[in-house]
Amino acid sequence: MSRRFVLASASVARRRLLTAAGLPPEVVVSGLDESTVTAPTPGALARALAVAKARSVATRLSGDALVLGCDSLLELDGAGYGKPASPEQARERWTLMAGHDGVLHTGHCLLDLRRGSATREIATLASTTVRFGEPEPDELDAYLRTGEPLAVAGAFTLDGYGGWFVEAIDGDHGTVLGLSLPLLRRMLCELGVRVTDLWTTEPGA
């Protein structure tokens, strides 16, 4: 029997990815002040933010539910980058990224809430290496005008306009989109939940 599945994220890409895979989530945005969460590395911070978001949303729910929190950060030369605050900042990021490799980290935290039982929690990290192309100045200007870089960690997407400027990836593409489906399936299995039992439609329907 399908259970309530809550995505603790405002990310359209994550919601779209889950929906396309047969698991349209209920979205509850955490509203977390991310500046209150710290960690020693970009990867650890992405994981810590995912945990904080999932826990924040869980406190507002009642009854049985599965709650998924996610957060993504791009690591370049040891520094972590989330969403740029302005087009100027996005341009600066692309100056660093163009022609180089970065690592996109996505933290995942899955909570199993059941009445009368202690909450079970699994938190882990997925990381994928991204090789960036070198957009021409006018191409970068056009990309910044789309507004897309301001809405995503690392100032790029893989499945939108930014995909034109990504040469290759090494790892799960879902991690770059903001959610690794294979990793989530393994997390669900660890909690004794089969992802196929959560599907709302049969394949091919």
Q: What is the pLDDT of residues 116-174, one digit of tens each?
A: 678 899 999 999 999 999 999 999 999 999 999 999 999 999 999 999 999 999 999 99
Global pTM reads: 0.93
Of 11-20, 70-79, 113-122, 159-168, give the lowest mean pLDDT range. 113-122
Catalytic, 112? Answer no
Q: How confident is the model at residue 181 (pLDDT cuts 50, 70, 90)?
A: very high
Range list of β-strands (E), 140-205 = 166-170
Placement of tokens 């209920």 in the chain: 26
Of 87-101, 108-122, 168-182, give the lowest mean pLDDT range. 108-122
d(C-alpha 199, C-alpha 56), whole Å: 25
Write down the pLDDT at residue 205: 45
d(C-alpha 141, C-alpha 121), whole Å: 43
Catalytic option among 33, 71, 159, 172: 71
